[in-house]
Amino acid sequence: MRKFFILSGFVWMLLVTAAFGEEFTLTTRKMMQSVVGETTDFPKYTTQLMNLANQNAHATRPNVVGQLSELIQQCPADDYAGWVRWYTRHHPQQLETAAIKIMNMLEKLKAALEQIDQDMVQAWVNDLVLAKTYVGLHVQESILKQIAAGQNASWRLARPDEESQGIDGYIGHQAVSVKPVSYRGKPMLMENIAVPIIYYQKIRGGIRVSYDPW
């Protein structure tokens, strides 16, 4: 099953451990200076906003700028300047296209920002801290309720003595277990569950649920 993730990467550190147990840290700036020979300084918060716009606009995905890991291998040059010349010669429009996509999204974010006031911030905080956290801790209940509704059946959460048997709840008369999809890679744990397992995976905006009908 595909995994969804987001890389923020505003500031990241590389920890290298030598054979003799020595450790040192290379900052992003230091590596940029070592490999590229130059760094670009941006005003505070601007890179965070551009990263957010880029994530929303998908501006630097392979279908826009190319599969960079493969392109770098194809490039015959062995230095950064040569890579820049090769890329811009073979892909003359991609960087500008990406920048335009990001700028367009920044304009949309700017318009959205102008709509935010204290009341909206308070409502968002209340929703995050109270509602979403509560729902997240009751994911099993939400899943059982949804499946039961589709089967026009009753549902309930398991009692403590049932939980010890790997049962998380009942849909009608059927005992079921509700587990994160990572359980599929843990056969030792699954051996102790003798009832149908309903799997869920957190994705952006909710969860994806899968199970074999019983």
CA 197 to chain CA centroid, Å, is 25
Can you point out the beta strands (E) in the chain?
13-17, 23-27, 155-157, 169-171, 174-180, 197-203, 206-210
Among the ranges 32-36, 97-101, 131-135, 166-170, which has the highest mean pLDDT value? 97-101
pLDDT tens digit sequence for 36-72: 877 788 999 999 999 999 999 999 999 999 999 999 9
Band (pLDDT 50/70/90 cuts) for residue 171 is very high
pLDDT beyond 60 at 20: no
Counting DSSP H helices and E strands in the chain, the numbers are: 11, 7
Instruction: Report the distance separating Cα 192 and Cα 121, nearest Å.
Output: 46
Compute the C-alpha angle 203/60/44, nearest 5°: 90
- Residue 102 Cα distances to 53, 69, 92, 114, 175, angstroms: 6, 22, 18, 18, 50
Q: How far apart are the first and last CA of the chain?
A: 21
CA distance 148 to 171: 6
Q: Which residues of 20-56 are buried (b: 16+ CB within 10 A; e: fewer)?
A: eeeeeeeeeeeeeeeeeeeeeeeeeeeeebbbebbee
Residue with tokens 């020979």: 37
**pTM, 2 dp:** 0.62
